[in-house]
Structure 1
Amino acid sequence: MNPNLRVKTGFTAIEALVVVAIVGLLFALLLPAVQFAREASRRSACANNLRQIGVAIQQYEGTTGVLPPGSNGLRAYSAHAMILPYIEELPIFNSINFSSFPQESNRSNRTSIYSKINLFTCPSQPALEMPNVPGVNYAGNTGISSLKPNLEGLFSQGRNQAITFSSIRDGMNATIMFSEITSGYVQNSQSSFRHRVVFSTIGVYSGDDWPGDLLRECNSMDINSQSQISAKKGGYWIKGDYSETLYNHLNNPKLNSCKNQSLVDSGIWTAGSEHGPFVHSLFADGHVSRISENIDPSIWKAIGTRSGGELVSEDF
C-alpha cells in the first residue's frame, strides 16, 4: 500500500450542500402536513367545546324548565354566565354580582369579567392582544330579525323571555342553538378579517324594505374603511349582547356584521370562524355540524328559526 495515498474521510462541501438541500426539502414537505394535523386537532376540540355547551344548556333547561336567556333582564348577563354551574365553573358563577352590570368599570365584577373560560374559546382563535379581554368564540342564535328583542331564535336580546325546547316546532335537529364567532381583539384584526369586527352603516334604514337595504350596504362595506368600524367582536363572555355572545341569521357566515348606524337596537351580526370556509354550529338536539360560508341564504335563515315552518333537507 502506498503510504502517500490519503483516504478520504467526511463530506465534501458539495455533498454537505446536497444533504442540507434534501433535509430542507423533506422539512418543506412535512411542515404543511404537521400544520394540517394540528389544525384538524384544533377544529375537533372547537367542535367538542360546542357539544359540551350543548350538554350544559340541556342540563340548565332540565333544571329550570327553560333555556338560559340570551340577555338576563336589565343587567344583560349572557347565557354563558347562566350555565357556569353546569360546566364546573361554580366559583366564577358565585363571584358574579348579578344585581350590578357586567361592565369593566364595575369593581364588584372584575374577577368574573376578566376570567378566561377555556370552554368558551376556540383553540384556532389567534392570541388576543389585550390581556384583560378573556375572549369568547361561541354565540347564541337569536333568529332572523335585526330588531331587539329578537324572538325567532333560541335566545333573546333585550328581554328575559322564557324559551323552551318544546317551543321548537321546526325540529331540534334543524334548529341552530349556538354558532362560532370570531374575536376582533387580535393583532391587525381590523385590516385582516372583516368577520372579526362590526361596521356602522352610513345610512339609517327603516320602512318595509329596510332589512334588505341594510344588508346590501353592509356587504358593500370595505374592510379598509377604518372610520366605519364601530366595534370588535368576541370580547367578553359575560355580556349578553350582540358582537359578544349573540348573533343572528340575516347574513351568511363570515360575511360582514353591521350596526344600523345610530340605531343601537337593530343590525346584522354574523357567525364566523378561523377554520376556513365554514363554521361549526350546535343544533338544539346536541349535534354539531360544519356549515359552509356558501350555504344558501334561505336555508341559513330557515335553520335560524325555531318555529318558522320551513322544510329543510338533512344534507344542507
Structure 2
Amino acid sequence: MTCVSGGCAMCMRRRGFTLIEVLVVISIIGLLVALLLPAVQAAREAGRRTQCQNNLKQLSLAMLQHETAHGRFPTGGWSFVWVGDPDRGTGRRQPGGWIYCILPYLERPDLARLGQGLAEPQRRAALAQLTQRTLEVAHCPSRRFADLYAYDPTWVPRNCDLVPMVAKSDYAANGGDLVIASGVGPASYAEADDPAYPWVDFSKATGICYMRSEVGMKHIEDGKSYTYMLGEKYVNTTGFDLGDDQSMYTGYDVDTIRTCDLGLVPRPDSASVGDLIFGSAHFDSCHMVMCDGALRRIAYSIDAEVHRRLGNRRDLLPIDDRQF
C-alpha cells in the first residue's frame, strides 16, 4: 500500500541519514578543504608577492628620481642614533638615511618638512613624530602590516625625543660587499660640522648607499643592470633583531642598509641571526631592484660570488645573466 500522507513510520525513517553516511560526507568535505586550502593560500601569497614587487618598484623609482634631481642616490646618513633633519639637505650634511631622503619623491613632502625651521626642543618633538609615521610602501605584506613596532633604545637619539614604538621598513639599500664598522657617529651637530671630526673612512665602500654616501650613476662602473640598488631585508622571526630595532628614518644602520659580503647570501626569514643580509618572508626567493630600475627575483640558492659581485658597483668582474 502506498502512503500519501508521509506520516507513516517507514516514510519517517527514510528522511534520516545513517551515521556512516554523515561520516562519509564529513570526510569528503574535509578532503575538499584540504585540497583547496593550499591553492587559496598560494593565491593569497601570489597577491602579496605582487604587492611587494610594486612597493620595491615605487621605492626604486623614488631613488632614481632623487639621483636625477641631485646627481646622486640618497645618502645613507650618519648612524642609527640620528634621524632625518629637514634643514640639512640631502648630501653628507644629512643625518637621516635613504628612506628619509626620498620622502618628497614618494609624494610625502609633508613628512620631509616635519620640524623644518624649528628650535631645538620643538624640532626634537617633531622628529619624534616623524619616526612614528608609517608608509605602506615600506612594508612587505607577506611579513607584516604597516604599523608601529617596538623601538630598542640602544642609545638615546641625538636629534629626536625617545619614543617606545616606531615605523620600520622591510626593505634595505645596497651597502656593497664590504662590512665596515661605523660606530655611532658624532655626538652633536657642532661636532659633525667640525672639519676636524674623524669620520669613519668609507672610501673603499662599494655599494650605492652607506655612511655619508654621495654615489651617482657615474660611479657605477659595472653597469646599472648588474648592480643592486635595493631589495628585501632578512628579519629574525623571534622578534629580537639588531637589524630591525630602529626607525626607518634613521641614519646609516643595518635596519635600512644590507651588504653582499662573500658568504652573506639572501635567505628566508628564520630564528637565526642575519642582520647584515638581504632576504625575505617569501619561501623561495627575495626581490632585488637593479640600478636601472629592473626588478629581479633572486633565488636563495644564488652563488655567493655572483651575489657579491652584484653588490659591488666597481669591481669590473663579469656576470652572466643566467647566473641570477
Match 1:51 to one of 52, 57, 64: 57
Is residue 2:95 matched to residue 1:76?
Answer: yes
Structural mapping, 1:74-153, within 5 Å: 76-96=95-115, 106-126=124-144, 130=149, 132-147=165-180, 148=182, 149=202, 151-153=205-207
Using the TM superposition, give the Cα deviation of residue 107 of structure 1 relative to its aligned residue in structure 2, in angstroms. Answer: 2.3
Show the counterpart of 1:274. Answer: 281
Using the TM superposition, give the Cα deviation of residue 5 of structure 1 relative to its aligned residue in structure 2, in angstroms. Answer: 5.7
Provide, for residues 258-294 of structure 1, a one-character-per-residue CA deviation record: whole Å limited to 9, x for no partner. Answer: 7xxxxxxxxx711111102321111000011111222
TM-score (norm 1): 0.75
Query: C-alpha distance in 1, partners of 2:245/2:292?
Result: 25
Show the counterpart of 1:166. Answer: 218
Q: Is the 8 A contact 1:139 1:181 kept in 2?
A: yes
TM-score (norm 2): 0.73
Is residue 2:10 matched to residue 1:6?
Answer: yes
Using the TM superposition, give the Cα deviation of residue 133 of structure 1 relative to its aligned residue in structure 2, in angstroms. Answer: 2.9
Q: Is the 8 A contact 2:95 2:251 kept in 1?
A: yes
Using the TM superposition, give the Cα deviation of residue 233 of structure 1 relative to its aligned residue in structure 2, in angstroms. Answer: 2.0
Unaligned runs of 5+ residues in structure 1 are: 191-196, 198-230, 259-267
What is the aligned-residue identity percentage?
28
Using the TM superposition, give the Cα deviation of residue 18 of structure 1 relative to its aligned residue in structure 2, in angstroms. Answer: 1.5
Query: C-alpha distance in 2, partners of 1:98/1:314?
Result: 49
Show the counterpart of 1:154. Answer: 208
Amino acid across the alignment from 1:17: L
Structural mapping, 1:227-246, within 5 Å: 231-233=242-244, 235-246=246-257
Amino acid across the alignment from 2:134: K
Show the counterpart of 2:230. Answer: 178
Amino acid across the alignment from 2:10: R
Question: Could you say if the C-alpha distance between residues 5 and 48 of structure 1 is closer, same or farther in structure 2, counting changes exceeding 3 Å?
Answer: same
Number of matched pairs? 261
Give the secondary-structure state (helix, strand or coil) at the position aligned to 2:267: coil
Structural mapping, 1:181-192, within 5 Å: 181-184=233-236, 188-190=238-240
Q: Is the 8 A contact 1:66 1:162 kept in 2?
A: yes
Query: C-alpha distance in 2, partners of 1:100/1:254?
Result: 44
Q: Is the 8 A contact 2:229 2:288 kept in 1?
A: yes
Structural mapping, 1:256-295, within 5 Å: 269-295=276-302
Question: Could you say if the C-alpha distance between residues 68 and 98 of structure 1 is closer, same or farther in structure 2, counting changes exceeding 3 Å?
Answer: farther
Query: C-alpha distance in 1, partners of 2:119/2:36?
Result: 53
Question: Could you say if the C-alpha distance between residues 134 and 174 of structure 1 is closer, same or farther in structure 2, counting changes exceeding 3 Å?
Answer: same
Question: Could you say if the C-alpha distance between residues 17 and 124 of structure 1 is closer, same or farther in structure 2, counting changes exceeding 3 Å?
Answer: same
Question: Could you say if the C-alpha distance between residues 33 and 253 of structure 1 is closer, same or farther in structure 2, counting changes exceeding 3 Å?
Answer: same
Match 2:308 to one of 289, 301, 305: 301
Give the secondary-structure state (helix, strand or coil) at the position aligned to 1:95: coil
Greater Cα shift, 38-47 or 6-15: 6-15
Unaligned runs of 5+ residues in structure 2 are: 78-90, 151-164, 183-201
Query: C-alpha distance in 2, partners of 1:65/1:98?
Result: 26
Q: Moved runs in structure 1, 4+ residues, more than 6 A? A: 98-101
